[in-house]
Homo-oligomer: A and B are copies of this chain.
Amino acid sequence: MKYVFGVDVGGTSVKIGFLNQDGNLLESWSIPTDLRNHGGNILSDVADSIRKFVELKSLNDDDILGFGFGLPGPVVNNVAIKCVNLGWENVAVDEAFIRAYGKNVLVQAGNDATVAAAGEYWQQKIDGDIVFITLGTGVGGGIIAHGKVIDGAHGAGGEIGHIRAEHNEPQLCTCGLYGCLETEVAIRGINARARKLILEKNLKTTLVDDETLSPKRIFNAAKEGDTLALAVVDKVGQYLGQTCATLAATTDPKAFFIGGGIANAGQILIDAIKKHYVNYAFSALRNMQFELATLGNDAGMFGAAYLIIAGLNK
């Protein structure tokens, strides 16, 4: 049996997973992300941590297939173009990690959302390609085609959070565009819609507009039949359903996987998406599979490891 390391680099901590080639996560741990020095210590911290682990476990270099990295920003040919949260710009992850690790190992890096998509794809072992959508503070996506993630020519493959979703009253997005999907179905957008409806006082609700307002509260209220909350959930389903129909007419996946914190809402979210999806979907695509993602916060580690596995299967 051979092994892979999957490294998920976030702005607060770095998650490191030790997996076998069959995709079983054998051990995992995390180290804090050192943001000093423009993030210049991060990869050497990871290398040190893994080196100690390898020594502790008496692993042979030959048994390690490689090291995969998921990074919070666009990645092209293993170069992290820009990771604002890390302070990185144009970091050649393969070269930097090899230097820090001190051995000429195989390194593959990708954007964190596309890498998470790869993780879900690998673990679901679904018989076909998938589109993965993660809903949280932002909206990210990962497209799998021919069994591999699409990083894209400019590192922006699967940047579906910045597809225009609202056409009549488009809000300014943090990215500078207007009406992005992310402005409507990420945490802030969902809260804002609920807040607006609460202020309008046209729909009955138990929800109150205070600092406790959250997608979790809103989805929970919807599950209990709260009229206003149901309206919010329906609108989220409409934006996502329409966008999924667009994505389906592009790469036509076998299934959509919905993840991220907001997807903890569960089946009610899937049902809302499917309800609207069919109204926008091309005939051949109407019978589409929608699933909740299952790996949660571990998707990044799995997917980073899969970058190595998929590369070996080229």
- What residues make up the interface of A, taking CB atoms closer than 8 Å to B? 74, 81, 128-129, 141, 143, 145-146, 148, 150-160, 162-164, 167-168, 175-177, 242, 245-254, 280-285, 287-288
Question: Contact: B284 with A143, CB < 8 Å?
Answer: no
- Evaluate whether A250 and B282 lie within 8 angstroms (CB atoms) in the complex, with A150-B145, A168-B167, A242-B164 already known: no
Measured between beta carbons, the chain B residues less than 8 angstroms from A128 are: 153
Question: Contact: A163 with B250, CB < 8 Å?
Answer: yes
- Evaluate whether A146 and B143 lie within 8 angstroms (CB atoms) in the complex, with A154-B252, A164-B246 already known: no
Measured between beta carbons, the chain B residues less than 8 angstroms from A151 are: 252
Assembly of this chain: how many copies? 2
Known: A162-B249, A164-B245, A250-B250. 17 other contacts (CB 8 A): A128-B153, A141-B250, A143-B251, A146-B150, A154-B252, A154-B287, A155-B284, A156-B284, A158-B252, A159-B249, A159-B282, A160-B250, A163-B246, A163-B249, A164-B242, A168-B168, A176-B283
Measured between beta carbons, the chain B residues less than 8 angstroms from A285 are: 154, 156, 159
Complex CA gap A175/B245 in Å reads: 14
Question: Contact: A251 with B251, CB < 8 Å?
Answer: yes
Measured between beta carbons, the chain B residues less than 8 angstroms from A141 are: 250
Chain B's nearest CB lies how many Å from the CB of A307? 13
Which of B146, B167, B247 contacts A146 (CB under 8 A)?
Answer: B146
Interchain residue pairs with CB less than 8 A apart (11): A129-B153, A145-B145, A145-B251, A154-B252, A154-B285, A156-B249, A156-B282, A156-B284, A160-B250, A163-B249, A163-B250
Chain B's nearest CB lies how many Å from the CB of A143? 6
Measured between beta carbons, the chain B residues less than 8 angstroms from A158 are: 249-250, 252
Question: Which of A129, A141, A157 has the most B CB atoms < 10 Å from its CB?
Answer: A157
Question: Contact: B280 with A159, CB < 8 Å?
Answer: no
Chain B, Cβ-Cβ closest to A154: B284
Question: Contact: B175 with A283, CB < 8 Å?
Answer: yes
- Evaluate whether A160 and B252 lie within 8 angstroms (CB atoms) in the complex, with A146-B146, A148-B146, A282-B175 already known: no
Chain B, Cβ-Cβ closest to A288: B154
Question: Which of A145, A253, A285, A287 has the most B CB atoms < 10 Å from its CB?
Answer: A145
Chain B's nearest CB lies how many Å from the CB of A245? 7
Measured between beta carbons, the chain B residues less than 8 angstroms from A145 are: 143, 145-146, 150, 251
Chain B, Cβ-Cβ closest to A81: B284
Chain B's nearest CB lies how many Å from the CB of A165? 10
Question: Which of A245, A247, A284, A288 has the most B CB atoms < 10 Å from its CB?
Answer: A284
Question: Contact: A153 with B280, CB < 8 Å?
Answer: no
